[in-house]
């Protein structure tokens, strides 16, 4: 269950965007956590659909009122397969600290939960003035997976350039009234009448007829395109590239993952990697800076199929880069070449080739290399090995103490679905600001938002007494 965090300063348009998503789901079922600020749950009330369950947290906003297990408890009724939802969106209060929320989601032990990205809304009218008063907003833009520059109808002079610069490699979408394409955030369910609603699977992607419903530039099945309303449709501002190729050289592919171009927001698909005569298939999923790979059953032909979605990316260049990773071009790999890829595998002991199945491969422990925002470290002679310089990941100065400037908030957990009520349960949020840096080890097995781990204790610094 992808959990998308929707953040942005007060009034940036989070609820407006959420309502747009809810209105455009066409069968996709979304659970929503609304993190209202103030004593009246305006956002919860204004979110479209039926609001059937509410939990109030009276002692602070979501990110400082719960720890990871508290968040798990809160979300578990939404992520539980029995709830039959396809996506959870956490709308952070305008005062919430997205870094803390990202940490909580990444530290989740809920087996059904997967980080779905941090979407940061920026108010194009107010941002320059807001930033003067709240310099931390710049950091929030920098750590997002997708920046939505909203209210472009009222944009202040120079704001697009300013946000573009602050966003660095993160894609920036321009929007009015939060009208972005929902498919940027989730795979729509297939509403085929003979099949019933369900989540799009990678198999759907793999076996989709090339050209079926395609508008000629990779946008695929899309009502708006068929309606000829392309110019006003958010698809017009991003590119989708589908690459089908043979088995990939794992080291070369891992290098591609590490150097993904600015603007590439999502990537999903199944790749087969060849090493030491073995063939292993992995489902790969990236959202912004986050990468996750999971070993899956072998796939047929094509051995590797990836869908890449980005803003302002060089589509043909991307295709060529992936194709360069194929063993046909890069040559056969040896088993050692798997190691750079295994850092992205959720359970590395499952990720090794048949020859070493069941063992945690050497190098799997090096996952913390990725917690350093500056990685890959050009000075590191062995980019796949432990990097002594990575101790800066544990810099206490960068840890977020969290609560200082957050006013009391009333948080509501709301299950929104046009049909089904989901009881979100009670008893959440009695903690008074748990600092994850003190209590949670860095999650391993997935790699995301290095900044989110600032202040976490590096494995070699863990005090065994604690
Ligand atoms: N002109 C203009 N107004 C917008 C746009 N998007 C949202 N608004 C308006 O901005 C106001 C705030 O929008 P909300 O969606 O409530 O913002 P929010 O981020 O949820 O606000 P908080 O919950 O207070 O943090 C509303 O009056 C919206 O109608 C836009 O693109 N252009």
State mean pLDDT over 436-456. Answer: 36
Domain annotation covers residue 139: yes
* 240 plus 363 within the same structural domain: yes
Q: Range with the lowest mean pLDDT among 22-26, 60-64, 219-223, 420-424?
A: 420-424
Query: Are β-strands 30-34 and 411-414 bridged in parallel, bridged antiparallel, or unpaired?
Result: antiparallel
Instruction: Give the best-scoring range by mean pLDDT among 130-134, 232-236, 392-396.
Output: 130-134
> For ligand 1, is residue 154 a contact (CB within 6 Å)?
yes
* 139 plus 58 within the same structural domain: yes
Domain annotation covers residue 448: no
Q: What is the mean pLDDT of the chain?
A: 64
Which residues 6+ apart lie within 8 Å of 218 measured at CB? 239, 240, 241, 242, 315
- Centre of ligand 1 to C-alpha 409, Å, is 19
> For ligand 1, is residue 19 a contact (CB within 6 Å)?
no
* 161 plus 50 within the same structural domain: yes
* 163 plus 210 within the same structural domain: no
Domain annotation covers residue 194: no
pLDDT > 70 fraction of the chain, expressed in percent and rounded = 53
- Centre of ligand 1 to C-alpha 16, Å, is 6
Q: For a substitution probing ligand 1, which of 8, 15, 16, 43 has the most ligand atoms within 8 Å of its CB?
A: 16
> For ligand 1, is residue 49 a contact (CB within 6 Å)?
no
> For ligand 1, is residue 130 a contact (CB within 6 Å)?
no
Count of domains forming the chain:
2
Q: How confident is the model at residue 176 (pLDDT cuts 50, 70, 90)?
A: very high
**Domain membership of residue 317 as a residue range:** 202-371
Domain annotation covers residue 395: no
- Phi, psi angle pair for 226, to nearest 5°: -65, -30
pLDDT at 96: 67
- pLDDT at residue 197 is higher than 60: no
Q: Where are the beta strands (DSSP E) in 56-199?
A: 56-57, 87-91, 114-123, 146-150, 172-174
* 214 plus 351 within the same structural domain: yes
Q: Range with the lowest mean pLDDT among 35-44, 178-187, 428-437?
A: 428-437
> For ligand 1, is residue 151 a contact (CB within 6 Å)?
yes
State mean pLDDT over 225-233. Answer: 34
More confident residue, 204 or 256: 256
Q: What is the sign of the dihedral through the CA atoms of 298, 301, 306 and 307?
A: negative
* 171 plus 207 within the same structural domain: no
Domain annotation covers residue 451: no
Dihedral Cα 247, 369, 364, 308, nearest 10 deg: -30
pLDDT at 66: 60
> For ligand 1, is residue 171 a contact (CB within 6 Å)?
no
- Phi, psi angle pair for 286, to nearest 5°: -125, 145
- pLDDT at residue 304 is higher than 80: yes
State mean pLDDT over 44-73. Answer: 52
ipTM above 0.85, yes or no: yes
Domain annotation covers residue 18: yes
153: its two tokens = 């109808």
> For ligand 1, is residue 199 a contact (CB within 6 Å)?
no
> In this structure, what CATH number is given to the domain that contains residue 123?
3.40.50.300
Query: Which of 371, 391, 420 finishes a domain?
Result: 371
* 42 plus 7 within the same structural domain: yes
Q: How confident is the model at residue 152 (pLDDT cuts 50, 70, 90)?
A: very high
């Amino acid at each position: 269950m992808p959990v998308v965090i929707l953040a942005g300063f007060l009034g940036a348009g989070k609820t407006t965007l959420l309502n747009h998503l809810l209105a455009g789901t066409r069968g996709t079922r979304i659970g929503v956590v609304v993190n209202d600020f103030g004593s009246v749950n305006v956002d919860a009330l204004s979110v479209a659909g039926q609001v059937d369950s509410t939990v109030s947290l009276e002692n602070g906003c979501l990110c400082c009122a719960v720890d990871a297990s508290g968040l798990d408890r809160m979300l578990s009724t939404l992520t539980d397969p029995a709830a039959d939802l396809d996506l959870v969106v956490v709308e952070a209060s305008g005062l919430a600290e997205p870094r803390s929320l990202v940490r909580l989601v990444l530290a989740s032990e809920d087996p059904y939960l997967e980080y779905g990205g941090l979407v940061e809304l920026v108010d194009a009218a107010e941002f320059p003035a807001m930033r003067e008063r709240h310099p931390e907003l710049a950091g929030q833009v920098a750590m997002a997976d997708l920046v939505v520059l909203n209210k472009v109808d009222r944009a202040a002079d120079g704001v697009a350039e300013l946000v573009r610069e602050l966003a660095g490699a993160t894609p920036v979408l321009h929007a009015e009234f939060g009208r972005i394409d929902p498919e940027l955030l989730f795979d729509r369910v297939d509403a085929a009448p003979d099949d019933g609603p369900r989540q799009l699977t990678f198999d759907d992607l793999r076996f989709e007829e090339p050209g079926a419903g395609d508008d000629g530039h990779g946008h695929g099945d899309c009502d708006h395109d068929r309606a000829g309303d392309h110019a006003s449709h958010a698809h017009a501002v991003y590119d989708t590239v589908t690459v089908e190729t043979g088995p990939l050289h794992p080291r070369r592919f891992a290098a591609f993952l590490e150097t993904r171009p600015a603007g590439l927001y999502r990537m999903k698909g199944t790749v087969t990697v060849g090493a030491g005569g073995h063939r292993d298939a992995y489902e790969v999923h990236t959202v912004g800076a986050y990468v996750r790979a999971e070993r899956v059953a072998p796939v047929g032909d094509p051995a590797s199929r990836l869908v890449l979605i980005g803003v302002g990316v060089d589509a043909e260049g991307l295709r060529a880069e992936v194709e360069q990773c194929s063993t046909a071009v890069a040559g056969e790999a040896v088993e050692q070449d798997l190691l750079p890829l295994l850092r992205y595998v959720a359970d590395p002991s499952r990720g090794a080739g048949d020859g070493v199945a069941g063992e945690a491969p050497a190098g799997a422990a090096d996952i913390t290399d990725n917690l350093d925002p500056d990685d890959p470290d050009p000075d590191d002679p062995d980019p796949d090995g432990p990097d002594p310089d990575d101790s800066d990941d544990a810099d206490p100065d960068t840890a977020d103490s969290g609560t200082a400037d957050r006013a009391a908030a009333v948080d509501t957990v709301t299950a929104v679905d046009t049909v089904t009520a989901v009881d979100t349960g009670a008893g959440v949020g009695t903690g008074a600001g748990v600092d994850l840096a003190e209590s949670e080890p860095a999650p391993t097995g997935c790699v995301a938002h290095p900044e989110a781990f600032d202040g976490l204790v590096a494995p070699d610094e863990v005090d065994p007494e604690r």
